[in-house]
Every structure is written in C-alpha cells, then in structure tokens.
C-alpha cells in the first residue's frame, strides 16, 4: 500500500513537472517577437530618415534649373552695375576713376546669331575666361534662330542692335532707318524681356539720322577702334585663327573696342586670343559697366 501511494505520488509529481514545462514553452518565443517588433520599429524609423534624403538632390537641382533658365542672374541683372567706363569720341573706353583699371578691352561680335555649335563654343570660351561681350545681332537672324538669342541672354551676355537686314543705313531714308533699328529692338525685347542698349551700324556706316534713331531708343552708338579683320579672311586657306589673333594684337591699346564676328575661325581663335590678352595684362570690360549718358559721340564719319 505504501508502495502504491509512493508510486501515485511519483506519477503526480511527473505530471506536475510536465505541465509546468509545457506552460513555460510559449513564454520563450515572446522574446524573439519583441526583438522583431524592435527591429520593425527601427525599420519604421529608417524610411522616415531615408525619405528626407531624396529632398537633398531636389535642393541641389533647383539652382541648376534656375541657371538653365537664366533666372539665377536676374536679381543681379535687375540692379544696374555702377558705371566704370565711358566711351570717347573715337569709340575707345576710358575709366571713370583712378581706381578703375585702364588696361581693359571690350569684346564684340557682329552678325549673329548664326550657328549653335559655333556660338556654344564662343560662349564656353568666354565663360572660361570670365569675360562678357556684346553680341550685335541682325533681326533676320534672330527671327531664324530665336533660341540662340535666348541662349545669349541666359548666359549673361549683352545683346546689341546691328539692324534688321545688315544694310548700309547711311544710304537709307529716315523711315527705313527707324524700321531697321526699331524692329530689332522689338524682337529682342519680345524674346528676352529687354531691349538692346548698344547699337552698331553695319559696315560702321552711319549719319545723323542713324545716330539720332539709336539715341531715341536709349542706345549707345558705336563702331570700333580695333578691327580683327576676320571678315576679310574668307579666301585665306591657312592659319585663319592665327591671323585673327595677330590682327587684334597689332592694334591693341587700353580701352580697345574690338570688332569680331560670329565666324568659325574667330571661334577657333578666341581661347588663345583671350589668353594672350590676359598675358599682356589686359582684362575685359563688362558691357553693363559702360556709361550710357554720352550716347551720341560727336564723331563725324
């Protein structure tokens, strides 16, 4: 009987221990579950942090989009720069103060806009040398290549008026002169929001009527003081870029008003030419720093 009771007690003890062990097993997975929940919480946090990362390129993209549209420069362009140079009666530029360097030249390019590849090359070279220039445009070419005119404006270059048809204005009547000049003012303003402030007559040929019409539009009338003669190189077979450089350097003087054109050999020569000018201690006049008050120089042609 004692053995029976002992046996029964042993069986009960075994059953009790087994039951306890069975109850404890479900408790163990709760630890991994809590770890999973903890990892999930970390994963939940990560996307929040990661979601802010794509915004960073957006912030970087905004200036580039503005630069592409030319809007980055608008605040500066809307505030006229202080005049530093004045054009004299022979179309050279003189500093307005003793603290303004005299050894600077004005770069100008006539008869465009023509060709995207050529123009892009010239603009890239100007950017490389931190140089600004006046691009004197013809109306009929602007009409054919409006996107190139916009590119000039967006790149921060200055657009000048070179008449609509590139005809000798000195031989035209007053009505035709007004139309040739006024139509260019209109199309440039329509495309860029700004009318030209500088005028150069085709062939450098003008008279009182031409000067007065330019003045009526608030433009500074000019020809040039340093001709690259790039327009005379059509028949040359060799070394056209070298001759452009040579012609400019031979006529170099402080305040030079350098005449060039949108031509392939001029585009090819431009980088070396600007480098040589810099080596000689010359800088480049920003057209926006030219005084416009004396817009009718007393210089008979």
Please state, in angstroms and as integers, the Cα–Cα distance from residue 119 to each residue in 46, 133, 146, following that order. Answer: 49, 13, 13
Q: Exactly one of 162, 183, 261, 286 is catalytic; name it.
A: 261
The dihedral over CA atoms of 76, 191, 170, 225, expressed in degrees to the nearest 10, equals 30
pLDDT at 9: 53
Cβ-Cβ contacts under 8 Å for 205 (sequence gap 6 or more): 168, 169, 170, 171, 301
pLDDT of residue 238: 86
| CATH H-level, domain 84-289: superfamily | Glycoside hydrolase/deacetylase (3.20.20.370)
Give the pLDDT confidence of 270-291 residue by residue, as tens digits. 999 999 999 999 999 999 999 9
Cβ-contact 192, 159 below 8 angstroms: yes
Joined tokens for residue 270? 């431009």
DSSP state of 26: G
* Residue-wise pLDDT tens digits, 101-119: 999 999 999 999 999 999 9
The one catalytic residue among 110, 111, 183, 286? 110
Is residue 39 part of the annotated active site? The answer reads: no
With contact defined as beta carbons under 8 Å apart, do 243 and 233 qualify? yes
Task: Report domain extents, the chain.
Answer: 2-52, 84-289
CB 276 within 8 A of CB 284: no
Looking at residue 19, its pLDDT comes to 44
Helix (H, G, I), strand (E, B) or coil at 258: strand
Catalytic annotation on 110?
yes
Tokens for 53, please give them.
């990362």
Task: Calculate the alpha carbon distances from 12 to 1, 19, 21 in Å.
Answer: 16, 10, 14
Using 50, 70 and 90 to split pLDDT, how confident is the model at 96? very high
The answer, yes or no, to whether the previous bond of 113 is cis (omega within 30 of 0) is: yes
248: how many CB neighbours lie within 10 A of its CB? 25
Question: What one-character DSSP code corresponds to residue 259?
Answer: E
- Do 163 and 181 meet the contact criterion of CB atoms below 8 Å apart? yes
Q: How far out from the chain centre does Cα 83 lie?
A: 22
* Start-to-end CA span in the chain (Å): 146
Predicted local confidence at residue 264, as pLDDT: 96
pLDDT in tens, 10-44: 545 444 444 444 444 333 333 333 333 333 333 23
């Amino acid at each position: 009987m004692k053995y029976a009771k002992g046996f029964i007690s042993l069986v009960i003890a075994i059953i009790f221990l087994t039951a306890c062990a069975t109850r404890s097993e479900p408790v163990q997975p709760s630890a991994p579950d809590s770890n999973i929940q903890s990892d999930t919480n970390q994963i939940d946090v990560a996307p929040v942090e990661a979601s802010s990362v794509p915004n960073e390129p957006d912030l970087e993209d905004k200036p580039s989009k503005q630069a592409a549209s030319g809007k980055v420069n608008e605040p500066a362009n809307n505030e006229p720069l202080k005049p530093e140079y004045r054009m004299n009666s022979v179309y050279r530029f003189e500093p307005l103060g003793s603290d303004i360097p005299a050894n600077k030249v004005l770069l100008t390019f006539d008869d465009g806009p023509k060709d995207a590849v050529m123009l892009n090359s010239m603009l890239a070279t100007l950017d490389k040398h931190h140089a600004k220039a006046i691009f004197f445009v013809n109306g009929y070419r602007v009409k054919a290549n409006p996107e190139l005119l916009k590119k000039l404006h967006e790149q921060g270059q200055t657009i000048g008026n070179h008449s609509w048809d590139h005809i000798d204005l000195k031989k035209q009547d007053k009505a035709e002169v007004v139309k040739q000049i006024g139509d260019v003012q209109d199309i440039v303003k329509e495309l860029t929001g700004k009318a030209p402030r500088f005028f150069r007559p085709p062939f450098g040929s003008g008279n009182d009527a031409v000067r007065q019409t330019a003045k009526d539009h608030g433009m500074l009338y000019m020809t040039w003081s340093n001709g690259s003669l790039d327009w005379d190189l059509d028949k040359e077979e060799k070394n056209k870029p070298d001759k452009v450089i040579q012609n400019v350097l031979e006529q170099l003087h402080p305040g030079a008003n350098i005449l060039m054109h949108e031509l392939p050999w001029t585009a090819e020569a431009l980088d070396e030419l600007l480098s040589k000018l810099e080596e000689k201690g010359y800088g480049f006049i920003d057209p926006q720093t030219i005084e416009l008050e004396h817009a009718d120089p007393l210089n008979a042609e």
